[in-house]
Amino acid sequence: MTDPIGALRARVRIETLERVADEIGGAALAWTDQGEAWAEIVVVGAGQAPAYDTVRAGTTILVRLRRRDADWVRSRVVNGDVSYRVRAVRDDGSARIELVCEEEML
């Protein structure tokens, strides 16, 4: 995969959903920081779907970044005040991976 110089220009934070102990002996789900990375963010699609008595809008985002070890199934990519939930990973064995994400509200 050949990328133009400067394609990875968005500084993003990667977070993973983990179970953490709470103060009353139980557990809760919390997003834990896994570090930052340079990424390319591309909007590849948007649409609407009926959901009960409302219409649900969704945006599909493609995030390209350098290969790194992570549990992408339970991860999200945060860019400023916008977060993208990872739905699938495209990995062709090259130096970069592509994350197919869905925009979510923080």
- Domain holding 21: CATH number? 2.40.10.270
Mean pLDDT of the chain: 86
> Maximum Cα–Cα distance for the chain, whole Å?
52
User: For the chain, how many structural domains are there in total?
Assistant: 1
Tokens of 70: 């992570």
Which residues constitute the domain of residue 81?
10-104
Q: Note whether residue 63 is domain-resident.
A: yes
Report pLDDT for 99: 95
What does the alpha-carbon distance between residue 41 and residue 93 come to, in Å, rounded to a whole number? 20
Length of the chain: 106
pTM of the model as a whole: 0.80
Q: Note whether residue 60 is domain-resident.
A: yes
Q: What is the pLDDT of residues 8-20, one digit of tens each?
A: 999 999 999 999 8
Q: Note whether residue 41 is domain-resident.
A: yes
φ, ψ (nearest 5 deg) of residue 72:
-70, -20
Q: Note whether residue 95 is domain-resident.
A: yes
Residues 6+ apart with CB under 8 A from 90: 97, 98, 99, 100
What does the alpha-carbon distance between residue 17 and residue 28 come to, in Å, rounded to a whole number? 10
